[in-house]
């Protein structure tokens, strides 16, 4: 089979395109940002299950940034906090277009559905008041997923079982009493 010069160019072009696509994919998956992060917010959480670096941050429901780092708090840092149960410090980057955040903003972990990825949800807070400084720290609230709901439902189901047993005893007693009065 005779090889043309064009066959070599096609092969080199395919290899070059593959290298470019591999580099682009690596760049995209690494989470590297071309713009330097200028606004950050630190959030202390008890539990960050479902959140990862590069998870989305939403402010009043709209996309507002990304999680850029997470680290465990030291025992000394935990003792200094008002909520001693906080164990993880999450740092998020905020887009420049986001207005200054009020000090009463709340951070919760949320998801659109039970199976969708979790994100950090920032409430809008009260406008016109004091605002958080860049790299300020706030208290985060844990997510309430299916695990917490089933754990909370446990005592409720136990009480329902007791109520059903009591009702069964009551109905059985009434049946015996009615049988005495019935001929």
pLDDT digits over 43-79, tens only? 999 999 889 999 999 999 999 999 999 999 999 999 9
Residue-level pLDDT at 41: 95
Q: Give the pLDDT confidence of 126-152 residue by residue, as tens digits.
A: 888 899 999 999 999 877 766 677 777
User: Among 34-43, 57-66, 83-92, 99-108, which is the least confidently predicted range?
Assistant: 34-43
**Domain span at residue 112?**
38-147
Residue-level pLDDT at 62: 94
Asked whether residue 15 is domain-assigned, the answer is yes
Confidence of residue 42 (pLDDT cuts 50, 70, 90): very high
Confidence of residue 27 (pLDDT cuts 50, 70, 90): confident
Q: Read off the DSSP letter of residue 99.
A: P
Look at the block and give the residue holding tokens 């659109």. Answer: 112
Asked whether residue 171 is domain-assigned, the answer is no
Residue-level pLDDT at 61: 92
Residue-level pLDDT at 139: 93
- Same domain? For 47 and 125 the reply is yes
The answer to whether 136 and 41 are in contact (CB under 8 A) is: yes
Average pLDDT in the 100-104 region?
91
Residue-level pLDDT at 176: 80
The answer to whether 153 and 145 are in contact (CB under 8 A) is: no
pLDDT at 25 over 60: yes
How much of the chain is helix, strand and coil, in % rounded to 5? 35, 25, 35
d(CA 94, CA 50): 20
- Same domain? For 23 and 90 the reply is no
**Residue 128 is encoded by which pair of tokens?**
């016109």
- Same domain? For 19 and 50 the reply is no
Asked whether residue 128 is domain-assigned, the answer is yes
Asked whether residue 4 is domain-assigned, the answer is yes
pLDDT at 32 over 70: no
d(CA 115, CA 139): 25
- Same domain? For 8 and 61 the reply is no
d(CA 14, CA 34): 27
The answer to whether 69 and 54 are in contact (CB under 8 A) is: no
């Amino acid at each position: 089979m005779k090889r043309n010069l064009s066959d070599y160019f096609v092969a080199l072009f395919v290899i070059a395109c593959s290298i470019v696509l591999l580099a682009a994919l690596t760049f995209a998956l690494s989470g590297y940002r071309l713009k330097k992060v200028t606004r950050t917010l630190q959030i202390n959480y008890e539990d960050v299950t479902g959140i990862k670096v590069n998870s989305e941050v939403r402010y009043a429901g709209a996309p507002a940034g990304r999680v850029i780092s997470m680290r465990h708090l030291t025992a000394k840092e935990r003792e200094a906090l008002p909520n001693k149960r906080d164990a993880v410090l999450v740092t998020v980057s905020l887009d420049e277009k986001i207005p200054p955040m009020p000090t009463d903003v709340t951070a919760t972990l949320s998801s659109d559905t039970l199976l969708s990825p979790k994100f950090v949800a920032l409430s809008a807070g009260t406008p016109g008041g004091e605002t958080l400084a860049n790299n300020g720290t706030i208290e985060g609230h844990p997510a309430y997923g299916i695990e917490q709901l089933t754990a909370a439902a446990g005592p409720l189901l136990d009480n329902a079982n007791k109520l059903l047993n009591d009702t069964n005893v009551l109905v059985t007693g009434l049946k015996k009493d009615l049988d005495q009065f019935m001929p």
